[in-house]
Amino acid sequence: METLAYLAPLFHIDVLGAIMLGTLGGLVIGALPGLTATMGVALLIPLTFGMPAVMGLNMLIGIYIGGIYGGCISSILLRTPGTPASAATVLDGYPMAQKGEAGKALGMATIASTIGGLVAAVVLAALAPQLASIALQFGAPEYFALALFGLTIIASLSGDLLKGAISGLLGILISCVGADPISGVLRYTFGVSGFASGFAFTPALIGLFALSEVFTLMERMARDEPNIQPVRGRWPSWQDMRESRGALIRGSLIGTLIGIIPGVGSGTASWISYNEARRSSPTPEKFGTGYAPGIAATESANNAVCAAALIPLLALGIPGDVVTAVLMGGLMIQGLAPGPIMFQTNPDVIVGIFGGTFLATIFMFIFGMALIPLFSRILAVPRHILAVAIMIFCFIGSFAINLNPVDLYTMVGFGVLGWFMQKFGFSQAALCIAMILGPMLEANLRRGLMQTHDDLFAFASGPLTILFLTLTVLSLGWPVLSRFLARRREAKTMTLETK
């Protein structure tokens, strides 16, 4: 009964309007490369100074949810991931758009984001205090083991194992640039102060995926290939939905679990989810060619992370990612201290945030679906103009993030690298995964060994560490094992037949 009373203020016209505006604004911010959900939330915090707590916070949450979703739009249409969260969506989204199915790809992404968001929101509302303790189990060894497990994705995603391994190792090497996470010594910066924090991540991704694609587009123009003929329609077929069912459920759950672990983030969640969807699919070879379940997997996972990241924030007062750290600032401005006591002192705000998360997800669905025809029209633009437009976006987007001119060199450098990799069959995905996980792997290995005074057994003794290390071994061994099992089954049926 009380809960209902707390929910009532949400349906006040001002509050609904604020959530709606926030979500729409977030969607636009996320769709534009170079503007991220974090920036959107931070820029609008001063606007919420004068608002009541529930209204202000839900507007920020709307921006967050809309922003993470919006990232898929430029990934699918222009191969330009606006945020690391949507880099994995490029893999199947862009080929689908190239086949003329941009509307359907965006439709699938919208549905998947909505399902992922709703699943995590239900978990948030039902189990936040209980699940939050998972966040506390993760010390340095656990993070290390999780990152190691994440890296095994490279083996299954890259096709050619040797080239995949080369890409992955290159990614880890690249992630070593910048200040050493433990001692603070600058590595491989060659005296350029702009590289003191390493290569800026989003500009690197924009170069890797988008600028390299501009080069490819130019090559195609030189060969005078015909333009894409867009197919109308935005709803995935029933067959698409049936094939994506597993990917959606798994993606939502993986996203929720990873979202609870502070500091891992939606980038990792969407890659792991993509890999799991591919692994358990009866037709893994279709992934990467423009296959709807690929989008379902990544987008359900990254939007689940949004709502799930609120779990440790509200229940423990520890933000799970950069955006929730900014949200925490927003809460403190309202004079609220997130943490276990907030459930007792301000249940109205907690319930209000739960409700707002649902509402924002629903608005996101409505706006997303309504705007698809508009967004898809981008592809009707002649290819030579589109190439120039993407190139301009690459530069503006890379500069806008940190206003650091050095980031432009990063973007162009990665663009050339990405183009070469594409041409010679090296996996850009592998490089991207390694760059996401490399820093987490290195810092936590060294921090953990430092804390256990270089005792490897003490380091690898926690149950979660052992779990993830076992998963790593299984994940690497699975292809060999499954081939072995299949052969045995074949042999069995053969012998049965001969009998």
Partner 1 sequence: MKRKLIIGMTLALMAAPAAAADFPSRPIQVIVPYSAGGSTDLSLRVVADTFKRLYDGKQFVVRNQPGGGGAIGTSATVHARPDGYTLGAGAQGPIAILPHLGGTDYTLDDVEFVGLFGRSIQVMVACKGAPFDDFESFFEYAKTKAPQIGNSGAGGANHVSAQAFADEAHIKIENVPYNGSSDARTACVGGHIDAMVASPAEALAQSKAGNMKPIFVMEPKRIDLFPDTPTAVEKGINFTWSSWKGIIAPKGIPEADLAFLREAVKKIATDDEFVKKMTDMGEFVTYEDAATFKARAEKDSKSAERVLKDIGMYGMNK
Interacting residue ranges for partner 1, rule: CB under 8 A: 38-39, 41-43, 45-46, 49, 135-140, 179-186, 193-194, 196-197, 200, 262-263, 312, 316-319, 322-323, 325-326, 329, 332-335, 337-341, 402-404, 439, 443, 447, 450-451
Least distance between partner 1 and beta carbon 286 (Å): 38
- Phi first, then psi: what are they for 179, rounded to 5°? -65, 130
Residue type, 204: A
Q: How far is CA 440 from CA 151, 177, 443, 481, in A?
A: 11, 14, 6, 29
Least distance between partner 1 and beta carbon 312 (Å): 8
CA 195, chain centre distance (Å): 24
Residue type, 388: V
Angle among Cα 187, 190, 191 to the nearest 5 degrees reads: 100
- Phi first, then psi: what are they for 187, rounded to 5°? -120, 140
> Exposure pattern of 291-310 as b/e (b: 16+ CB <10 Å)?
bbbbbbbbbbbbbbbbbbbb
Least distance between partner 1 and beta carbon 236 (Å): 36
282/335 with CB nearer partner 1: 335
183/498 with CB nearer partner 1: 183
Tally of CB atoms within 10 A around 283: 10
215/459 with CB nearer partner 1: 459
Q: Say if residue 488 is exposed, middle or buried (CB neighbours under 10 Å; 0-12, 13-18, 19+).
A: exposed
- Which residues 6+ apart lie within 8 Å of 275 measured at CB? 153, 156, 157
CA distance 27 to 64: 9
Encoded tokens for 98: 């190239």
216/404 with CB nearer partner 1: 404
284/347 with CB nearer partner 1: 347
Least distance between partner 1 and beta carbon 170 (Å): 22
> Exposure pattern of 183-203 as b/e (b: 16+ CB <10 Å)?
eeebeeeeeeebbeebbbbbb
- Phi first, then psi: what are they for 238, rounded to 5°? -60, -35
Name the 3-class secondary structure at 359. helix
Least distance between partner 1 and beta carbon 333 (Å): 5
Tally of CB atoms within 10 A around 4: 8
Give the length of the chain. 499
Least distance between partner 1 and beta carbon 135 (Å): 7
Strand spans (E) along 173-216: 178-179, 186-187
46/282 with CB nearer partner 1: 46
Q: Say if residue 404 is exposed, middle or buried (CB neighbours under 10 Å; 0-12, 13-18, 19+).
A: middle
76/145 with CB nearer partner 1: 145
Least distance between partner 1 and beta carbon 410 (Å): 11
Least distance between partner 1 and beta carbon 199 (Å): 11
Least distance between partner 1 and beta carbon 187 (Å): 10
Type and span of the H or E element at 293: helix 292-316
Least distance between partner 1 and beta carbon 201 (Å): 12
Encoded tokens for 214: 């501009």
Closest Cα partner for 423 from 283, 264, 220?
A: 220
180/225 with CB nearer partner 1: 180
170/322 with CB nearer partner 1: 322
CA distance 24 to 20: 6
Is residue 98 within 8 Å of 91, Cβ to Cβ? Answer: no
Q: How far is CA 278 from CA 79, 274, 292, in A?
A: 21, 6, 12
Least distance between partner 1 and beta carbon 328 (Å): 8
Least distance between partner 1 and beta carbon 318 (Å): 5
422/451 with CB nearer partner 1: 451
179/366 with CB nearer partner 1: 179
91/323 with CB nearer partner 1: 323
107/207 with CB nearer partner 1: 207
Least distance between partner 1 and beta carbon 485 (Å): 39
